[in-house]
Amino acid sequence: MAALPGRVGRCLKIRRGQLPNSRCLSSCSRGEANQRHDVSLQQGVSLQHDVSLQQGVSLQHDVSLQHSVSLHPARRESDAYRQYEHLLKVGSKTPEQVINLLSDISRERRCDAEVVKTITNHVYDFSEDYFPPQLVQVLEIYAKLKYSNETLLGVVCNRVNDLVNIRSPLRVKILTNVYKQLNLHHPAVKAPLMSHLNSNINDYKNELVSIVKNVSYLYVDADTSANIINRIATNYDYYDKDGFTIIEACSRLDAPQEVLLELVNRKVKQLHTNGDSCSFKNFVKFLSAYKRLGLKENTYIHTQFEKKLNNIKLLPPENVSYVLLLMLASKLRHEGLFDLVIINVENFVNNRNEQLSLEGKNLYVSQGEKCMRGSGEREELSPPPGEKHARKNSHKGYPQQSAYNPYVLNFLPFHLLLLTLLNYGEKNTLKHLLNVCVLDYLHLYDTSNLVNLLYVCTLLAMEGEEGSKGVQSAELEQTAQEIFLALQYVYKKATINEMKILHECFLYFQRGVEKNPKLVKLHDDLLHSECLSLLPSSHDNLKFEDLKIVRCASSSYLQGKTDSTIYFYLNRNDFFSSNVCGCDDLLLSVKLRANILRRQYGGAHAVQMVYPGGATGSGLTSKG
Do residues 187 and 42 make contact, with C-beta atoms less than 8 angstroms apart? no
Q: 38 pLDDT band (50/70/90 cuts)?
A: low
Chain-wide mean pLDDT for the chain?
80
Our CA angle for 532, 534, 538, nearest 5°, is: 165
Out of 163, 179, 203, pick the residue that ends a domain: 163
Q: What integer pLDDT is reported at residue 112 of this predicted model?
A: 85
Say if 234 falls within a structural domain: yes
Q: What integer pLDDT is reported at residue 470 of this predicted model?
A: 57
More confident: 506 or 14: 506
494-512 confidence digits (pLDDT tens): 999 999 999 999 999 999 9
Q: Is the pLDDT of residue 348 over 60?
A: yes
DSSP-derived secondary structure letter, 3: T
296 shares a domain with 173 = yes
Say if 350 falls within a structural domain: yes
Say which range, 82-86, 311-315, 441-445, 508-512, has the weakest mean pLDDT.
82-86
252-286 confidence digits (pLDDT tens): 987 667 888 888 988 888 888 887 778 899 999 99
24 shares a domain with 113 = yes
**C-alpha–C-alpha distance, residues 268 and 93, integer Å:** 56
Say which range, 50-59, 339-348, 547-556, 579-588, has the weakest mean pLDDT.
50-59
280 shares a domain with 240 = yes
Q: What is the count of structural domains for the chain?
A: 4
220 shares a domain with 186 = yes
Out of 110, 133, 163, pick the residue that ends a domain: 163
228-246 confidence digits (pLDDT tens): 999 999 998 899 999 999 9
SS3 550: strand
SS3 357: coil
Q: 78 pLDDT band (50/70/90 cuts)?
A: low
Q: Is the pLDDT of residue 491 over 60?
A: yes
Q: Among 493, 418, 506, which Cα is nearest to 461's?
A: 506
Q: What integer pLDDT is reported at residue 66 of this predicted model?
A: 41
Label residues 551-589 b or e (16+ Cβ within 10 Å = b).
bbbbbbbbbbeeeeebbbbbbbebbbbbeebbbebbbbe
For helices 169-182 and 150-163, what crossing angle results, to 10°? 170
395 shares a domain with 502 = yes
437 shares a domain with 406 = yes
Q: What integer pLDDT is reported at residue 352 of this predicted model?
A: 63
More confident: 405 or 39: 405
Q: Is the pLDDT of residue 32 over 90?
A: no
**C-alpha–C-alpha distance, residues 10 and 128, integer Å:** 12
187-220 confidence digits (pLDDT tens): 999 999 999 999 999 999 999 999 999 999 999 9
**C-alpha–C-alpha distance, residues 325 and 346, integer Å:** 18
Do residues 250 and 277 make contact, with C-beta atoms less than 8 angstroms apart? no
Q: 521 pLDDT band (50/70/90 cuts)?
A: very high
Do residues 96 and 134 make contact, with C-beta atoms less than 8 angstroms apart? yes
Q: How far is CA 485 from CA 4, 409, 462, 506, 572, in A?
A: 51, 19, 20, 12, 38
Out of 163, 182, 205, pick the residue that ends a domain: 163
Q: What integer pLDDT is reported at residue 81 of this predicted model?
A: 63
More confident: 466 or 482: 482
Q: What integer pLDDT is reported at residue 58 of this predicted model?
A: 40
Say which range, 458-462, 573-577, 617-621, has the weakest mean pLDDT.
617-621
124-146 confidence digits (pLDDT tens): 999 999 999 999 999 999 999 99
Range 292-311 average pLDDT: 87
Q: Is the pLDDT of residue 373 over 60?
A: no
Say if 461 falls within a structural domain: yes
Q: Is the pLDDT of residue 361 over 60?
A: no
482 shares a domain with 441 = yes
Say if 69 falls within a structural domain: no
Q: 359 pLDDT band (50/70/90 cuts)?
A: very low
Q: Is the pLDDT of residue 622 over 90?
A: no
More confident: 299 or 341: 341
**C-alpha–C-alpha distance, residues 476 and 455, integer Å:** 11
Q: What integer pLDDT is reported at residue 47 of this predicted model?
A: 42
514 shares a domain with 395 = yes
Q: What integer pLDDT is reported at residue 110 of this predicted model?
A: 80
420 shares a domain with 286 = no
Its domain, for residue 579, covers: 544-610
343 shares a domain with 431 = yes
Q: Are strands 18-19 and 547-552 parallel, antiparallel or unpaired?
A: antiparallel
**C-alpha–C-alpha distance, residues 361 and 209, integer Å:** 42
504 shares a domain with 423 = yes
Say if 103 falls within a structural domain: yes
**C-alpha–C-alpha distance, residues 181 and 142, integer Å:** 9
Range 467-481 average pLDDT: 80
Q: 111 pLDDT band (50/70/90 cuts)?
A: confident
Q: What integer pLDDT is reported at residue 563 of this predicted model?
A: 84
Q: Are strands 566-569 and 18-19 parallel, antiparallel or unpaired?
A: unpaired
Do residues 449 and 487 make contact, with C-beta atoms less than 8 angstroms apart? no
Q: Is the pLDDT of residue 385 over 70?
A: no
Say if 203 falls within a structural domain: yes
Say if 372 falls within a structural domain: no
Range 40-58 average pLDDT: 44
281 shares a domain with 180 = yes
Say if 485 falls within a structural domain: yes
Q: Is the pLDDT of residue 7 over 80?
A: no
